[in-house]
A and B are shown apart, each in its own frame.
Chain A
Amino acid sequence: MTLNMRTAAIRVDGLSRRYGATRALDEVDLTLEQGITGLLGPNGAGKTTLLSILATVSEPDAGRVSVFGLDPREAAERVEIRRRLGYLPQELGYHRHFTVAGFLDYVAILKEITDRRRRADEVARVLAATGLERRARTRIRALSGGMRQRLGIAQALLGRPDLLILDEPTAGLDPEQRLRFRELLSGLPGDPVIVLSTHQADDIAAICPKVVVLLHGRVHFAGTPVELAATASGRVWAADARDPHAHLSWRGGDNRWRHIGDAQPAGAELVTPTVEDGYLLLSHAAGAR
């Protein structure tokens, strides 16, 4: 696969999608490059819709998508996209009677690896990458939630995809598992394009060098986490008391109050904003409209 380094790997232009009266996506424009991009937004923001359109599982109502220069509306190009794709949907169901190895073998067949020896090679490779080697014979229904999540990631890695779409992959992972997940993603051969969605800002800070904030079906920010944090600079304060005029206030772990607002509350000092602060500010502004 050759990639023109000056054109983006994934381009999305004017993407729109409705479900009944709800606008799940509203004129979304986006470009995605190699490396990890985080899609941040609350539940219902349209992340799953966007990811399922990128994964060629759903069709948009309007707008264009280009994946590695291919158009999913053309049948032959769509199959080609799917050959380069690894997808972890949000609610992945498993055939309950399958073992871990049996399920991965099944997905490998769906990815057109027809030779059973090559399939076994691939299954062994992804089991090793996700630390599930000792679970090859375990039935899926006997796995813990965290291991099922790892299995979901393992199946997405089959076939060495160039595009990895992961919908809420960190849900149910503890901090140590999340660290291993980040190491796993950073160590993938071939430098694929990785998009993952989450509603937690600290996932972004921990894992993603690039972030896109999606609110009410629209893109409100695209850049690095540092830039996202910087959007709140000058507007985040820490104090010992509540401030009723701040946009947002909450009590932090250090027993001090944190406020996000335009005016400095009494007795508060300016603090360096975090990614979460930037996200909350954007979220509040979007909600106010």
Chain B
Amino acid sequence: MRPGAEERDDVALLRGVRRGDEEALAALYDRHAGWLTLRMTRRCAMPDVVDHAVQDTFLALWRQAGAYRGGGDVAAFIWGIGVRRLIDAIRRENGARRRLPWRAAEPAVVVSAEDQVLAGIEHGRLGQALAQLSPELRGAIEATVLDGLTCAEAAVLLGVAEGTVKSRCHRARLALRAALADQQAGAETPAHPRQAWGTS
């Protein structure tokens, strides 16, 4: 199926959910719950918490499907809700009482430069640069850039203080910039074969 057609199906299903059609919600679940569960599991090791977060995500879709404004991937919209439900679930597990607003960030219609990079354009060099970062710095970048979380939300996910997240992001960006600059200045071709997407 071409990406365009499937996107239209998702939008149609969301419209069905907004009308209160339970079958549409079930169909949306069947399409998206699998990858959502796996993606959440990479951020939270507690399966019960992930289960509840997945349920909460589709429940939020059921109750407030009208928030999807069109323009942008439905999957990104679902992930935006999902990651915040996951953070709420982690907070509940830790006993915290404050609730995050569930509203997803508007998925950007224009692909940001960061997204382009992550999707693999300059992947080889960035991959190397990222690989040189320590796990803590990488985790901070992942939460704030890839998941689009605020520093407060990222702090809950990573289990550290908010100030720590901020300083780690700052250091990570500095390190990445330096590493990329080194590579460009240094060599024409990368010293190692391409990491993730290269041939084994």
Chain B residues with CB below 8 A from A117, complex form: 52, 55
Scoring B residues 18 to 48 as 1 if CB is less than 8 Å from chain A, else 0, what string do you get?
0000100000000000000000000000000
Chain B residues with CB below 8 A from A137, complex form: 22
Chain A residues with CB below 8 A from B22, complex form: 137
Scoring A residues 105 to 121 as 1 if CB is less than 8 Å from chain B, else 0, what string do you get?
00000000000010010
**Binding site of A, secondary structure by majority: helix, strand, loop or mixed?**
helix
- In chain A, positions 125-149 with a C-beta closer than 8 Å to chain B are 137
Scoring A residues 183 to 206 as 1 if CB is less than 8 Å from chain B, else 0, what string do you get?
000000000000000000000000
A117–B56 Cα distance when bound, in Å, is 9
A120–B52 Cα distance when bound, in Å, is 10
A137–B52 Cα distance when bound, in Å, is 21
Q: How far is the CB of B40 from chain A (nearest CB, A)?
A: 15
A137–B23 Cα distance when bound, in Å, is 13
Q: How far is the CB of B109 from chain A (nearest CB, A)?
A: 35
Q: How far is the CB of B99 from chain A (nearest CB, A)?
A: 14
- In the complex, which residue of chain B has the Cβ closest to the Cβ of A136? B22
- In chain B, positions 45-72 with a C-beta closer than 8 Å to chain A are 52, 55
Size band of the B side of the interface? under 10
Q: How far is the CB of B160 from chain A (nearest CB, A)?
A: 26
Task: Give how many A residues have a beta carbon under 8 Å from the other chain's beta carbons.
Answer: 3
Chain B residues with CB below 8 A from A120, complex form: 55
A120–B56 Cα distance when bound, in Å, is 12
Q: How far is the CB of B53 from chain A (nearest CB, A)?
A: 10
Q: How far is the CB of B97 from chain A (nearest CB, A)?
A: 14
A137–B55 Cα distance when bound, in Å, is 18
Scoring A residues 206 to 225 as 1 if CB is less than 8 Å from chain B, else 0, what string do you get?
00000000000000000000
Scoring A residues 46 to 61 as 1 if CB is less than 8 Å from chain B, else 0, what string do you get?
0000000000000000
Q: How far is the CB of A172 from chain B (nearest CB, A)?
A: 29
- In the complex, which residue of chain A has the Cβ closest to the Cβ of B56? A117
- In the complex, which residue of chain B has the Cβ closest to the Cβ of A117? B52
A120–B59 Cα distance when bound, in Å, is 12
Q: How far is the CB of B85 from chain A (nearest CB, A)?
A: 11
Chain A residues with CB below 8 A from B52, complex form: 117
- In the complex, which residue of chain B has the Cβ closest to the Cβ of A115? B92
- In the complex, which residue of chain A has the Cβ closest to the Cβ of B52? A117
Q: How far is the CB of A279 from chain B (nearest CB, A)?
A: 48
A120–B55 Cα distance when bound, in Å, is 10
- In chain A, positions 148-198 with a C-beta closer than 8 Å to chain B are none
- In chain B, positions 93-122 with a C-beta closer than 8 Å to chain A are none
Q: How far is the CB of B24 from chain A (nearest CB, A)?
A: 15
Q: How far is the CB of B44 from chain A (nearest CB, A)?
A: 15
Scoring B residues 62 to 87 as 1 if CB is less than 8 Å from chain A, else 0, what string do you get?
00000000000000000000000000
A117–B22 Cα distance when bound, in Å, is 19
Chain A residues with CB below 8 A from B55, complex form: 117, 120
A166–B54 Cα distance when bound, in Å, is 36
A137–B21 Cα distance when bound, in Å, is 13
- In the complex, which residue of chain B has the Cβ closest to the Cβ of A120? B55
Q: How far is the CB of B29 from chain A (nearest CB, A)?
A: 14
A120–B51 Cα distance when bound, in Å, is 12
Q: How far is the CB of A217 from chain B (nearest CB, A)?
A: 49
Q: How far is the CB of B57 from chain A (nearest CB, A)?
A: 13
A117–B55 Cα distance when bound, in Å, is 9
A117–B59 Cα distance when bound, in Å, is 12
Q: How far is the CB of A236 from chain B (nearest CB, A)?
A: 56
A191–B55 Cα distance when bound, in Å, is 31
A137–B22 Cα distance when bound, in Å, is 11
A278–B55 Cα distance when bound, in Å, is 54
Q: How far is the CB of B51 from chain A (nearest CB, A)?
A: 8
A161–B55 Cα distance when bound, in Å, is 26
Q: How far is the CB of A152 from chain B (nearest CB, A)?
A: 25
- In the complex, which residue of chain A has the Cβ closest to the Cβ of B89? A117
- In the complex, which residue of chain B has the Cβ closest to the Cβ of A137? B22
A137–B25 Cα distance when bound, in Å, is 15
Closest 3 pairs (CB-CB, A-B): A117-B52, A117-B55, A120-B55
Q: Can you sample 4 A-B contacts with CB below 8 Å?
A: A117-B52, A117-B55, A120-B55, A137-B22
